[in-house]
Every structure is written in C-alpha cells, then in structure tokens.
Amino acid sequence: MKNERINVTKTFLPKQIEYQKILSRSWDKSWITNRGELVLELENKIKRQYNISNILATTNGTLPLQIAIKGLGLKGEIITTPFSYVATTSSIIWEGCKPIFVDIDEDSFNIDYLKIEAAITSKTSAILATHVFGNPCDIEAIDKIAKKHNLKVIYDAAHCFGVTYNKQSVFEYGDVSTCSFHATKIFHTGEGGALFTKDSALYDKLYSHHNFGHKGTSEFHGLGINAKISELQAAMGLAVFPYLDSIFERRETLYKLYQKELFGKVKFQKIASNCDYNYAYMPVVFKSETHLLEVIEELNNNNVFPRRYFNPSLNTIAYVNGDAMPISESISSRILCLPLYFDLGEENVIRISRLISNTISNE
C-alpha cells in the first residue's frame, strides 16, 4: 500500500462492457456526433434527476463560460473571483471583456459579496462567481446586488454536479450556470460540460451559439462555434450515471474521515449550511506556505501526490495584471487538495493524514 501511487484524484470508470453496450447503440447507427440519441438521453436523465429547467451538454467545461458571455451580450467589465481555475478568468478575456477581481471570503473561499458593490462601475456588465470546490456562493446576496445594478449573473459551477441550494439544484441559479464533466470530476463524460438556464429564450440562443449558429441546414441565426458533445462522451456519462449515489456516499465517508484525522491541525473549507454538498474536493489550509511545502515533500516521498489547487491566485497571472487580493493570495499560497476518489482506501486516508500531522508536529 505504501508503494501504491496515490494521485489527487482518479477517474471513476464503469466496466468496459457497460460502456460498450451503451456505445453500441450509436455505433450500430454510425451516428457518433450531432446530438444523437445518447446525448439527448443523457440531458434528459440529468434534467429529471435534478429537476432542471434546461440543460445543454457541451464538449468541455470551458466553452460554456465563453458561450454564456457571448450569449448574454456582455461587454466591458465582469466582476469575478481570483480564486478559481484559470478558465474562469481566461474566458472573460477571450471574449473581449475585462475581469475585475473581488477578494474572497477566507472561510468559504468564495467571492466576498460584501466587496462586490464597491467594484461596480458604469462599465460593469455582469458578475461571474465560482462555487469553489462545489461550495455554493451566497446566491441570494449576489442576485440582490445584480438586480439592484441591472447586472447579469453567471455561476461557474464546474464542481457542483449533484449540489443543491435551498433544496434546489445549484444549476438553477443565475442567468446561466455552467458545469464541467471532465474526467477528474465526480460525474464525467471523459471530457465534457454543460450550460444551464431557466430562460428558454436564452437557452435557444445558447444552443445556436454552440452549433455554429445554425438555423436548419442552410440558414443561420447568427455567429456560433462548435461546442457539441459527442455520442462517445455521452455514452461514458450514461455508463457512470447509475453509480452516482455510491460515488457521493463514498466521497462523503472519506471526506469526513480526513476531517476527523486532521481536526485541529489544518483549516477546512466552511460549507454553506443550506446546501446538500457533493464532497467534490478535500482542500486543507496550512498555517504557512512553508508548512505546505514541507507536507508536499513528505507526501511525495511516500508516493502521495496532492495538488496546490488553486494556485496561483488569478489576479497575479501576467496577462491579467490585477490588483492585489490579499486573502485570495494568502489562501492560494497555503491551500492543498488531498487525494479523494471512489476507490481510495480508508487506510490510505489515515496514512496520509498521519504523514501530514507528523510533518506539522515536527515544527
């Protein structure tokens, strides 16, 4: 067990025969893209399971952010968080807008809604907030600010599959929510993602944008790109879907075991009280970056490979040139995501926790 390489995550894979059986439906028809029956079935399964208004599956989790910005007609400045994966910021810049960073709450790691209004200017068109590690933002507060200032809201919900907020899917909030179905996520299609919106007219527009702007075979609604998910990807999602309850339960068990073993030694993310959480990641924050680096070295020496996630704080990236964000920069320098995946053994969680505890206690 000590010689087993343990990465920060490991893709959950169904049995090959299960995947192949589903894929054969597409194979037999020679229909592997352009929204075949598997894509439609996957979208409908997700809609029914989580009581979602509209879903549009895509080929990855970044294009939904770009399409949302384009579909909402956003210009000028977009208020966002510096503590997220780089796609959140790069999508804003890619679409010709300017990210305006607002620092984060040191407990939830989400954008601090109390600081948003001070960042709003006449050029602000939207708020793009990330539910960090699947932990919902203060949605009511953000939506109230948006309505007051006539701003659009996009939620980067890349980590949020299965999360509810006030007993409703977190995807049902904001003008648009997006998700990633990447192989590292709880639910995945290998590569993939999705757009969600309650606005049916907006959904039609986003749909057009994701399919080259097509209106039938020879006319066009307008500008579009290719973000369509394939049948091969959808087949993987359909094969993973029956395992979701077991995956959620297993991750919760391991997450809570980490909390028990590391109680009082590290800081944990504060999860919103009004949500059903999915245990997407196992982030811990150390007292200093020195402690973090020593822990990483010790874990690596024992064939354990966590990830500094998210690091660096996005306001410090060269092509952004953002203002200082003290809390985000501090958390970013001290946070580490520990291994968490379906078939990780409890004995390894205990071993990893003790390696961490022993390293810290030797200070």
Identify which of 85, 87, 80, 86 has the alpha carbon closest to the alpha carbon of residue 101: 80
**Residue type (1 letter), 288:** S
pLDDT at 214: 78
pLDDT at 222: 81
pLDDT at 218: 72
Same domain, yes or no: 146 and 40: yes
> Coil, helix or strand for 263?
coil
Give the containing element (helix H, strand E) for 70: helix 63-71
pLDDT at 226: 94
Same domain, yes or no: 252 and 281: yes
DSSP single-letter state for residue 243? G
pLDDT at 361: 85
Same domain, yes or no: 128 and 206: yes
Is there a domain that residue 10 lies in? Answer: no
Is there a domain that residue 264 lies in? Answer: yes
Q: Which of 192, 213, 241 is the last residue of a domain?
A: 241
Same domain, yes or no: 213 and 260: no
Same domain, yes or no: 316 and 200: no
Domain limits for position 132: 16-241
Cα distances (angstroms) measured from residue 163 to each of 160, 169, 196, 329: 5, 6, 14, 27
Same domain, yes or no: 316 and 203: no
pLDDT at 362: 65
pLDDT at 286: 98
pLDDT at 225: 93
Q: Which of 241, 258, 282 is the last residue of a domain?
A: 241
Structure tokens belonging to residue 33: 């893209």
What's the domain count of the chain?
A: 2
Same domain, yes or no: 103 and 28: yes
Is there a domain that residue 168 lies in? Answer: yes
Phi, psi of 313 (to 5 degrees): -60, 130
Q: How far apart are the first and last CA of the chain?
A: 27
- Whole-model pTM? 0.96
pLDDT at 363: 56
pLDDT at 285: 98
Contact 97, 77 (CB under 8 A): yes
Same domain, yes or no: 209 and 334: no
Cβ contacts of residue 28 below 8 Å, gap of 6+? Answer: none
Name residues of the chain where pLDDT drops below 50.
Answer: 1
What are the strands of the beta sheet with 283-285, ordered from one edge? Answer: 267-268, 283-285, 335-337
Contact 80, 88 (CB under 8 A): yes
Same domain, yes or no: 201 and 285: no
Q: What is the CATH number of the domain that holds 125?
A: 3.40.640.10
Same domain, yes or no: 105 and 41: yes
The pLDDT tens digits of the residues spanning 34-55 come to: 999 999 999 999 999 999 999 9
Same domain, yes or no: 48 and 187: yes
